[in-house]
Amino acid sequence: MTAVDEPPVTPQEPAQEQQPERPIGFGRMKRKEDPRFVRGKGRYVDDIQLPGMLHGAVLRSPFAHARILSVDTSAAEAHPRVKAVITGETLAGLGLAWMPTLSRDTQAVLATDKVRFQGQEVAFVVAEDHYAARDAIELIDVEYEPLDPVVNARHALAAEAPVIRDDLEGRTDNHVFDWEAGDSAATEEVFARADVVVEQTMLYPRVHPAPLETCGAVASMDPVDGKLTLYSTTQAPHAHRTLYAMVAGIPEHKIRVVAPDIGGGFGNKVGIYPGYVCAIVGSIVTGRPVKWMEDRSENLMSTSFARDYHMAGEIAATREGKILGVRVEVLADHGAFNSTAQPTKYPAGFFHIFTGSYDIEAAHCRVTGVYTNKAPGGVAYACSFRVTEAVYLIERLVDCLADELGADPAELRMRNLLRPEQFPYENKTGWTYDSGDYPACLRKAMDLVGYEELRKEQNERRARGELMGVGLSFFTETVGAGPRKHMDILGLGMADGCELRVHPTGKAVVRLSVQTQGQGHETTFAQIVAEELGIPPEDVDVVHGDTDRTPFGLGTYGSRSTPVSGAAAAVVARKVRDKARIIAGAMLEVAPDDLAWTKGRWSIKGDPAMSRTIQEIALAAHGSLELPDGVEGHLEATTVYNPPSMTYPFGAYVCVVDVDPGTGSVKVRRFVAVDDCGTRINPMIIEGQVHGGLADGVGMALMEIIGFDEDGNCVSGSFMDYLLPTALEVPAWELDHTVTPSPHHPFGAKGIGESATVGSPPAVVNAVLDAIGVRHADMPLTPSRVWQALQGGEVEAPQ
């Protein structure tokens, strides 16, 4: 395995960079974790087998809204292989029937009074094996009194709507929160003097992260020492541990949360689900380990969905196409419990980045959250906390404006993009974008796709009655939450610890608070340390996903690992390097100031032959060398990195589609993506992240929706109904990049994990609408919806 930067291996990888990629540590290194994955030797939660382990299954509500009249568990309890049946009543006795959510609401662990969405957890059976547990939940007799459900966010706010959260004291409606950002008076003023105002309502439908591995846990409470070990599918082991301690009253040092290999998270594994809590309670009451793994339908129907944002947007501009203002009213459907995961101050996540990448005079947004009889969760699915919705809004509005003005959408964007000299740029909702050269990025994408020729081709095809479309999107993301003074989740500040220890033989171990779900942290974090210490990345072991073995931190989501924890890894390595300098000074009998660093060694200034490598220094640090006063032996350091600000990756995407006028089916012919995530650690991993995100975008734009019928039945509970894109639906991606380092990150990196999911849906939608000459139709643009739009009729709104 080498860490050298290989020459470009695909035509997509350009020969020249704005900044040359660094030769060691940073580079196109093969993933250290893959040898175990490609051999089927990954160790996932469901692979864990503990002696005496029992199996749990959840009984779920068939109704979207119903009162629970009685729960009879006697037949299930009589099942010979059943060890325990837990109901809401059992939990109420322990004070555990309700748990706090990440948004400071409460969520029923097991329903006691009412069920509030189809698939809600009602009872939990623990049995000798998985099949017996499943059989026994069928034996539980629950008497329900069905109530009217509300699945439409607008209806939920009507005066006559049934009150879903009557458990909350004094609650007489389904309103969750109101939140606004920007300056409404200034926005009104620019709208009043604008030549053109375009309005467009749009729905970003409810979708699902749908990770390959569903959610699950193995809970093991040791009845002797009172220590709970929880193996679980979590993206945030430390935050989960603290929450379990707070909720269950188990002392925090007696809880160990382990996230072993995770088969994809995509945001689905940020929150705490009732199943985890039930597994813990099951282990406490039986005195044996309990495993709970949900199946695919349970995952799709009851765990953290994403989006469900009803947006009424307006854009104001001059006749010449200078954008003046944007405003938007949003109705945010949060389902039955407000359990979205985002920093406390921001109930609408980072939606306030809806001014996008443009130089706009004024902007204002208002977001209203509502309860509906649908599964709770929200935000998740590679979203950067609602940046997905914000980017979709602005990128659709810009295309609507182009349509209104008869302008070319690329030219309109180019004319309004922020210019490089405007950075750092404070947008109209008060967020400071760190760095960027947007026009260069868009130009690169247009050149790569051959924009002008495509427009010519489109005109020729149109003349022949063929439907071809070209769609653009230019996005700016905000990733890397904190700093801790502005950002917390349930009071836990968003900063991340990191520990680095160099062993006597020069091999190192770095311990992280973040956790990979497939992003390749075992490789890229080794590369960061390798780069800073000048040792091979193979010599750096990355430890993560185990609260007993790693320092506290808030975990992986919102593409925060590289901006926050990656920064921590660099900082801690620099601390080690500084300490190594003192020790090298003692070894060479010179003052540390007389030493200069060249990769991997400290040498006497002007006499490079007189030097000590990190490995030599590590051995001496553990040996009998006389150290200066106040300097301790060994070579290690710890840090807690509190990011000064967020990082702002960006990109320009161009999608080319062909639409079949007879069937409305869409073929994505080409997709060009030019991303900028600042300094790049591992280009191969970045490309993998972008490929996955682009596929997500094509899926959401064309296929994916979690839908409901009028009775509140979820009609997308399997992969037969919830369609995911496969290799057949996506083109060979054409990638390129620019590199604009973040000025406040130790080595200039920004996040990349969600960029393509955030940026690609509007490019695909813009392309399809461009092909069919329709101003707007809501996602997913399935063949039937495209066909309806082509017939000129109203396209039925998805539910």
Which residues here bind ligand MCN, judged by CB under 6 A? 264-267, 382, 517-521, 524, 556-562, 677-682, 685-686, 689, 692, 749-754
Contact 356, 395 (CB under 8 A): yes
Rounded to an integer, what distance in angstroms lies between the CA atom of residue 63 and that of residue 499?
49
Q: In angstroms, what is the minimal distance from the CB of 742 to ligand MCN?
A: 9
Chosen from ligand MCN, ligand CUN, none, partner binding at 680 (C-beta under 5 to 8 Å by type): ligand MCN
- For residues 409 and 697, which CB has a smaller minimum distance to ligand CUN in the complex? 697
Residue 116 C-beta: closest distance to ligand MCN, Å: 26
Cβ at position 15, least distance to ligand CUN in Å: 33
What distances in angstroms separate CA 252 from CA 242, 285, 547, one per listed residue? 6, 20, 10
Instruction: For residue 91, give the H/E element and its range.
Output: helix 88-94
Question: How does 680-699 read in b/e, with b if 16+ C-beta sit within 10 Å?
Answer: bbbbbbbbbbbbbbbbbbbb
Report the partner that residue 664 touches, choosing among ligand MCN, ligand CUN, none (CB closer than 5 to 8 A by kind): none
The b-or-e profile of 84-103 (16+ CB within 10 A means b, else e) is bbbbbebbeeeebbbbebbb
Nearer to ligand CUN, 149 or 480 (CB): 480
Binding partner of residue 220 among ligand CUN, ligand MCN, none, CB cut-off 5 to 8 Å per kind? none
CB of 475 to ligand MCN, least distance (A): 14
CA 720 to CA 305: how far, in whole Å? 18
Task: State the binding partner of 702 from ligand CUN, ligand MCN, none, CB within 5 to 8 A by kind.
Answer: none
CA distances from 232 to 238, 267, 383 (A): 12, 14, 22
- Shortest separation between residue 333's beta carbon and ligand MCN, angstroms: 20
Closer residue to ligand MCN, CB minimum distance, 487 or 685: 685
Instruction: Identify the DSSP state of 711.
Output: T
The burial class, CB within 10 Å (0-12 / 13-18 / 19+), for 589 is exposed
Partners of 97 in the beta sheet? none
Least separation in angstroms between CB 522 and ligand MCN: 9
Query: Least Å distance between CB 3 and ligand MCN?
Result: 13
With CB under 5 to 8 Å by kind, the binding choice for 759 among ligand CUN, ligand MCN, none is none
Nearer of residues 25 and 347 to ligand MCN, judged by Cβ: 25
The helix/strand count (H/E) of the chain reads as 19, 32
Residue 161 or 526 having the CB closest to ligand MCN: 526
Residue 740's binding partner, choosing from ligand MCN, ligand CUN, none, with beta-carbon cut-off 5 to 8 A by kind? Answer: none
CB of 264 to ligand MCN, least distance (A): 4
Helix ranges (DSSP H) in 357-497: 387-405, 409-416, 438-449, 451-463
Nearer to ligand MCN, 254 or 484 (CB): 484
Token pair 């072991």 in the structure block, residue: 541
Tokens encoding 46: 């469901």
Minimum distance from residue 478 beta carbon to ligand MCN (Å)? 12
Q: What are phi and psi for residue 272, nearest 5 degrees?
A: -105, 130
Please, which residue, 428 or 544, has the CB nearer to ligand MCN? 544
Contact criterion met (CB below 8 Å) for 665 and 783: yes
Phi-psi region of 117 (alpha: psi -120 to 50; beta: other; left: phi over 0): beta
Partner whose footprint covers residue 682, from ligand CUN, ligand MCN, none (CB < 5 to 8 Å by kind)? ligand MCN
561 binds, among ligand MCN, ligand CUN, none (CB under 5 to 8 A by kind): ligand MCN
State the binding partner of 379 from ligand CUN, ligand MCN, none, CB within 5 to 8 A by kind: ligand CUN
270 binds, among ligand CUN, ligand MCN, none (CB under 5 to 8 A by kind): ligand CUN
Measured between alpha carbons, how far is 513 from 473 in angstroms, rounded to an integer?
34
- The answer to whether 102 touches 339, Cβ cutoff 8 Å, is yes
CB nearer to ligand MCN: pick between 97 and 652: 652
Work out whether the CA dihedral 353, 358, 361, 365 comes out positive or negative: negative
Total residues found in the chain within this entry: 799
Buried b (16+ CB within 10 A) or exposed e, 638-656: ebbbbbebbbbbbbbbbbb
User: Is-contact 516 549, C-beta < 8 A?
Assistant: no
Judged by CB, which is closer to ligand MCN: 149, or 343?
Answer: 343
Nearest distance, CB of residue 394 and ligand CUN, angstroms = 18
Q: How far is the CB of 596 from ligand MCN (least distance, A)?
A: 28
Q: Assign 3-class secondary structure to 151-164.
A: CCHHHHCCCCCCCC
562 binds, among ligand CUN, ligand MCN, none (CB under 5 to 8 A by kind): ligand MCN
Q: Which amino acid is at 391?
A: V
Q: Which is nearer to ligand MCN, 201 or 642 (CB)?
A: 642
Measured from the CB atom, the residue of 76 and 270 that comes closer to ligand CUN is 270
Instruction: Indicate the residue among 229 and 519 with the shorter CB distance to ligand CUN.
Output: 519
Residue 436 Cβ vs ligand CUN, minimum distance, rounded to whole Å: 21
Q: Which residues sit at the interface with ligand CUN, rule CB under 6 A?
A: 235, 265-267, 270, 379-383, 557-558, 754
Best CA proximity match to 542, nearest among 531, 553, 529, 552: 529
Nearer to ligand CUN, 379 or 703 (CB): 379
CB 46 to ligand CUN: min, Å: 21
To the nearest whole angstrom, how small is the minimum distance from the Cβ of residue 167 to ligand CUN? 27
Of 44 and 177, the one with the shorter C-beta distance to ligand MCN is 44
Residue closer to ligand MCN, measured from CB, 277 or 752: 752
List the single partner that 685 binds among ligand MCN, ligand CUN, none, CB under 5 to 8 Å by kind.
ligand MCN
321 binds, among ligand CUN, ligand MCN, none (CB under 5 to 8 A by kind): none
301 interacts with, out of ligand MCN, ligand CUN, none, CB within 5 to 8 A per kind: none
User: 270 or 489, CB closer to ligand CUN?
Assistant: 270
- Dihedral (Cα; 106, 112, 116, 121), 10-degree rounding: 90
Q: Is 729 exposed, middle or buried (0-12, 13-18, 19+ CB in 10 A)?
A: middle
Write down the least CB distance from residue 265 to ligand CUN, Å: 6
How far is the C-alpha of 271 from the C-alpha of 340, rounded, in Å? Answer: 8
HEC per residue, 756-778:
HHHHHHHHHHHHHHHHHCCCCCC
692 binds, among ligand CUN, ligand MCN, none (CB under 5 to 8 A by kind): ligand MCN
Rounded to an integer, what is the distance from CA 495 to the centroid of its chain?
17
CB closer to ligand CUN out of 387 and 573? 387
Q: How far is the CB of 648 from ligand MCN (least distance, A)?
A: 12
ω before 741 within 30° of 0 (cis)? no
DSSP class of residue 467 equals E
749 contact choice in ligand MCN, ligand CUN, none (CB below 5 to 8 Å, kind-dependent): ligand MCN
CB of 580 to ligand MCN, least distance (A): 24
Neighbours of 253 (CB within 10 A): 11
- Give the sign of the dihedral formed by CA 399, CA 405, CA 408, CA 413: negative
- Give residue number: closest CB to ligand CUN: 267
Out of ligand MCN, ligand CUN, none, which partner does residue 677 contact, by CB within 5 to 8 A per kind? ligand MCN
